[in-house]
Amino acid sequence: MNSMLGYVVVAFLSLAVLFLPRDWSVKFGNESTQGSSVRLLSRRELSSYDGEEGSKGLYLAILGQVFDVHKGYKHYGRGGAYHFMAGKDASLAFISGDFTENGLTDDVSSLSPQQVVALYDWLSFYQREYQNVGLVIGRFYSRTGQPTEALLHVQASLAEGQQLKAQSEAEMVRYPACNTQWSAAMGGRVWCSTKSGGVERDWTGVPRKLFSPGSSGVRCVCVEDPAAAEEDQNLQKYDSCPPHADSCSVEEF
Ligand code: HEM
């Protein structure tokens, strides 16, 4: 009986080890952010990894995180199309595409929340493809490697951008885009189908104009229930199109 109890305890402990909480902190090479082992680089030190002759290696930084991009030498090394990104944090340029000296900056305060989401997609790309080697002291990390106010601000903007993205994705599913066609002879036509807007569904819907609050744009969307749509102030019927028609001739989209 005692030995039976022993087996149960051993089996329980083995399972417990499997489910113990893990250390999910960001790893830098073989080191962890926990403790004092994070490598902190000044901007000047980072600039000595620009891949120019005699440089120590090939690094770039994004949002203050430094990556060893030697593996991508053809892009970032001398003669590479993105050589100007080496040895610095040019976070803004990942979104603006402005690769001039002024554009190659880590000041991302001008970015919208949606653009900050796109910038974090780039950060994920580098985390996936390249080795993270440390942090740059400056705009995003303090001398002790702590996040600065500027980084907290960007993270808040990221959260806002992710929420907006989720809302707009939900709206795309609720109100998928119409198919559109224009010809000089026939004019414009908008219509709904079970795949319009790239949203596969088991309903077709009827075309309506959707006015998005905060944006001057109007787009044609397919609405599943025309009666319920009457309640939505942002939706409007197309003139001279019967309310239940799934295809309408239009003068503008
Ligand atoms: C905001 C504008 C842009 C940015 C910030 C950007 C950035 C980059 C970066 C960082 C890489 C290297 C990725 C790696 O490490 O593997 C890359 C690769 C590349 N980019 Fe761009 N790029 C931009 C626009 C464009 C445009 C407009 C084109 C095409 C007309 C283009 C074509 C390419 C190609 C062909 C590669 C190489 C893919 C490969 O060989 O693996 N990029 N881009």
In a domain, 48, yes or no: yes
Residue 40 shares a structural domain with residue 140: yes
Q: What is the number of structural domains in the chain?
A: 2
Q: Looking at the domain assignment, is residue 64 inside a domain?
A: yes
Q: Whose CA is nearest to atom 35 of ligand 1?
A: 81
State the pairing for strand pair 40-41/131-136: parallel
**243 in the same domain as 158:** no
Task: Give domain status of residue 90, yes or no.
Answer: yes
**Residue whose C-alpha is closest to residue 250's, from 211, 195, 207, 196:** 207
Q: How far is the CA of 177 from the centre of ligand 1 (A)?
A: 30
CA 67, 31, 120: angle at the middle one, nearest 5? Answer: 40
Distance 75 CA to ligand 1 centre (A): 8
Helix extents (H) in 69-148: 73-76, 91-96, 113-129
Q: Are 164 and 171 in contact (CB under 8 A)?
A: no
pLDDT, residue 19, reads 35
195 and 161 in one domain?
no
At 34, list the tokens.
């926990």
Q: What angle do CA 75, 78, 82 make, to 5 degrees?
A: 35
- Report the CATH number that the domain containing residue 45 is assigned in CATH: 3.10.120.10
**Model pLDDT, residue 213:** 72
Say yes or no: CB of residue 97 within 6 Å of ligand 1. Answer: yes
68 and 139 share one domain = yes
| CA 113–ligand 1 middle distance (angstroms) | 22
Region 44-49 average pLDDT: 98
Ligand 1 atom at minimum distance from 99 CA: 5
Q: Whose CA is nearest to atom 25 of ligand 1?
A: 97
With a 6 A CB cut-off, is 75 part of the ligand 1 pocket? yes
Atom of ligand 1 at shortest range from CA of 97:
1
Which of 67, 69, 82 maximizes ligand 1 atoms within 8 Å of its Cβ, making it the mutation to test the pocket? Answer: 82
Ligand 1 pocket, residue 72 CB under 6 Å: yes
- Residue-wise pLDDT for 117-155, tens only, equals 999 999 999 999 999 999 999 999 999 999 999 999 999
pLDDT tens digits for range 50-73: 999 999 999 999 999 999 999 999
Closest C-alpha to ligand 1, atom 12: 75
Give the domain range for residue 237.
175-250
**Ligand 1 atom having least distance to the Cα of 75:** 12
Residues 219 and 237 in one domain: yes
What percent of the chain is predicted at pLDDT more than 90? 76
Q: At which of 120, 137, 167 does a domain end?
A: 167
Which pLDDT band holds residue 211 (cuts at 50, 70, 90)?
A: very high
